[in-house]
Structure 1
């Protein structure tokens, strides 16, 4: 599950996006990692 989310995020980051959207993706990944770390 986590690997799938990271892969899909990388695909989206590979496309032309604004910096704000990139930061939102990184924030989402960070939150997911924190959830897995605390469970």
Structure 2
């Protein structure tokens, strides 16, 4: 469980780039946690 929380905390670095790709693929604006 702790590892998951750590990943969520560090994920914003990755998700800052990925959201744009996921938005185009899904067509729906996925709201990512703004870090």
TM over 0.5: no
Q: Give the TM-score of the pair, scaled to structure 2.
A: 0.32
Q: Which has the higher helix share?
A: 1
